[in-house]
Structure 1
Amino acid sequence: MRTPYGRRRFGFFPMLILLALAFITYVVYWLWNNVLVAVVPVKAVTYWQAMGILVLSRILFGGFKFGRPSGGPSFGAGAHWREKWRQMNDEDRAKFRSEWHRRWRGENKP
């Protein structure tokens, strides 16, 4: 009996993520030992220390956000907003622009 395509694909993604993590860790390791050691007075690091630096930088600068990045539309949502914008009349567009400017200037009071 053959496994469905979805199950084989599901097993592939964790392996792909681990492979990407290993590769990115190697890049951090290589850059640290070949660039920073020559430019800044720091010690060389091992592969596992490079992975620790990578995880620490993710915690400090990236946080633990899962899912799509906030602040932007999802992959298919751009077309939806373009269509909505085309259907607006001039008065609705002006109202939308003024509300958008009000929110981005930090004036959160209605």
Structure 2
Amino acid sequence: MKGMFNSRWKFVLIPVLVVAILALVGYVVMWLWNHTITEIFTVQKISFWQALGLFILCKILFGFGGRKGGGGWKRAAMRRKFAKLSDEEKERFKASFKSSVCQWERDWYEDGPNRSREDENDGQVNKE
């Protein structure tokens, strides 16, 4: 069994698996599009190649499903670096991080979640 997964088999097996998975995904996207979207909206059915192109376009636009913040090894490395900092350096880092990355969150909490568009225009309703 161990000899089956040597480099020669991997060289053949991995590309075959990639092609098979892409074919399956393309078929699933095509089937879902043709059986749901065409029923809801008045659009044409798509071919396998169009479905595969749509899948690839969505992956490019919306990402490839990576975990936010990097892998576990990245977080562990950051924890080790943070643990080596002095208390003063930690506070400086936290303040810098909050001012640059968390700006939108602070604005939302300062203004309150129930702030309306009237507040932005001093009581005048925006008629756009």
TM-score, length-scaled by structure 2? 0.60
Larger Rg: 2
Distance 1:32 1:3 in 2: 39
Deviations 1:9-38 (A, max 9, x none): 243322222122111111110110111111
Whole-angstrom CA distance in 1 between matches of 2:78 and 2:53: 41
Aligned to 1:78, which of 75, 97, 113?
75
- Please give the alpha-carbon distance, in whole angstroms, between the structure 1 residues aligned to 2:9 and 2:15: 11
Name structure 1 gaps, 5 residues minimum: none
* Map 1:10-89 → 2, pairs under 5 A: 10-59=11-60, 61-62=61-62, 72-89=69-86
Deviations 1:30-72 (A, max 9, x none): 110111111111111222221232233345x148x9xxx5973
When the two structures are aligned, how many residues end up with a matched partner?
A: 100
Q: For residues 72 and 18 of structure 1, what CA distance do their matches in structure 2 show?
A: 30
2:84 & 2:16 partners in 1: Cα distance? 45
Which residue does the alignment assign to 2:109?
none
- Preserved CA contact (<8 Å) 2:29 2:51: yes
RMSD of Structure 2 on Structure 1 (CA): 3.1
- Which runs of no fewer than 5 residues in structure 2 stay unpaired? 105-128
Please, what TM-score do these two structures have when normalized by structure 1?
0.67
CA distance in structure 1 between the partners assigned to 2:7 and 2:22 by the alignment: 23
Q: Distance in 2 between matches of 1:15 and 1:62?
A: 26
